[in-house]
Structure 1
């Protein structure tokens, strides 16, 4: 039977032994041990406890011999982007651990969201039997407006291929799984660092991020709420503009320069995004005499 999980102990206890002891069917025991649905938590816990008491261990090797190879597609931006360094490391680690379980992780590196769109199309074109799941990164809220990208995501969902998106608050298309950042916690942590590293009064410059991003808005709100409560003497000045690549740096760069000219009591600069961090660092190097303050960032 494909996908069946086999178990082994020194005494060669079988699933039938557990079912006989508990007075339930072998099928129910198997489903509990395999982590499948279709029973109450109370019954599942009872079965697992009995299995432990009888010395059961899952024979993953035997299970995988019978299990068909499953491919997972992972789509992430190019590795030279430091933002994704830890995600790349995590994917590689999990890919190594999954390989003995007959799970093959196929990684696609893309240059931008349009390149990702083409990769999504290629995956969808292969049909429902090629990939068991897809994990991709949502570059921006353009996913919620771009017909071509939404169409490829919808195709995957229609084929019942579980599709997960990282780093945005996506509610469409229906059936998509979203893995957003812990924006409130990140904002509060940045604010806590700010409170620890600044005096009671002064100006804090904060890059606003992308205004149509739920993640950026909620992170900024959490940052502001924390400082208003714990360091009310600090004045928060928001820097408008959002940069993902050098050709989009202009507005952020000019707004940072303007803020440095208008505020002589800057105590800290907080960048919400990796792009804004890069631009700010360049501006600070060009204006060293005005930048004797703490600099922190996320991403």
Structure 2
């Protein structure tokens, strides 16, 4: 039979059950035993039946999805804009479904995000069917998100994970692999003994004693220690804001001749690092590995200031975050507890091609 001719009644007859039971299974409702559920799913697949999710959603009350995301600032173009663009792209793809989106944009402060979360949590009239959050990381935020989880609201954490939160899943870069890739690359590019600085300040970490494993810096250090015993590493936790990191790097590079390389784990840090190296004309002495592809970084690649970039595909992070939540809420598809986006090494020859693809 053709797909359009298959009805719930056809499946019910073959399964030896009622149309209501078939409907419950295909719409991921409870109250049907596992054995019968699997038999119905198997028969529907054999018959080529496909549930029209769009039509199904239009016949029900609107599904409400909420997004919490940082406000745009002068640094958003380096990374978070692309995450939002990925989210917006999938949002366009599901425009035919009966879904409403409520979007909250917050300042990079725990107080701003927490007040918005509190306001939504206390609004008993507002129904939330799913949430996507680019989180700031503090105990207060963890506690607030777990209050939403206590109401059974599925949450997708975007880009940054909080393992203490009972979230549906997290879509993030594979930071451990990013650290290993950059460490191995640094070992190959640096020809002389010396010190490697790691600029790994993270604006989302608001409490330094939180149980957050920095797999990026750790794996970078481990790779250096394993492959190059003539190199040492030092982490630099200084904010890029108000040019703090730039001035620190400039002063440090002028005073410490032992520095032979710098690895920046984030896009924002990379801008400050590259600017300092460029201003001091040290591109032939200092090997720089940065993060993310955007106009400033491409120019620094072309000028020889940055030797390579670790690209974490922020667009895909945003796209997959909404796609996974959509598939769970609308289609009832199960999900893993974490999705790691594979990073890539970018050089001058492929940087412009990647940038043009968006």
- Classify 1:60/1:31 alpha carbon distance in 2 versus 1 (closer, same or farther; 3 Å): same
Work out which of the residue numbers 221, 242, 252 in structure 2 matches 1:258. Answer: 252
For structure 1, list consecutive stretches of 5 or more residues without a partner in the other structure.
Answer: 1-7
Once residues 163 and 135 of structure 1 are traced to their aligned partners in structure 2, the CA distance between those partners, rounded to angstroms, is 6
TM-score (norm 2): 0.66
Number of aligned positions between the proteins: 280
Q: Is 1:223 aligned to 2:220, yes or no?
A: yes
TM-score with structure 1 length normalisation? 0.77
Distance 2:230 2:36 in 1: 56
Q: Which residue of 2 aligns with 1:110?
A: 106
- The yes-or-no answer on 1:134 pairing with 2:128 is no
1:117 Cα offset (Å): 2.3
Greater Rg over alpha carbons, structure: 1
Can you list the C-alpha shifts for 1:120-176, whole angstroms capped at 9, x where unaligned?
Answer: 23322322643222222222x3x21x4xx4564354334433334334442445x34
- Shift of the 200–240 alpha-carbon distance from structure 1 to 2, 3 Å rule, reads closer
CA contact (8 A) 1:272 1:297 kept: yes
Shift of 1:69: 0.6
Shift of 1:63: 0.7
Contact 1:77 1:109 in 2 (8 A): yes
Q: Please say if residues 127 and 159 of structure 1, whose CA atoms lie closer than 8 Å, have aligned partners that are also in contact.
A: no
2:50 alignment partner in structure 1: 57
* Aligned residue in 2 for 1:5: none
Q: Relative to structure 2, which stretch is displaced further, 121-130 or 72-81?
A: 121-130
Give the Cα–Cα distance (whole angstroms) in 2 for the partners of residues 24 and 200 of structure 1: 74
Which fold has the larger relative contact order, with Cα–Cα distance below 8 Å and residues 6 or more apart in sequence?
2
Structure 2 alignment gaps of length 5 or more: 203-207, 293-358
RMSD between aligned residues: 3.3
Cα drift, residue 68 of structure 1: 0.8
Q: CA deviation at 1:201?
A: 4.6
- The equivalent residue for 2:64 is 71
1:205 aligns with 2:197: yes
Taking a change above 3 Å as real, the CA distance of residues 269 and 54 of structure 1, as seen in their structure-2 partners, is same
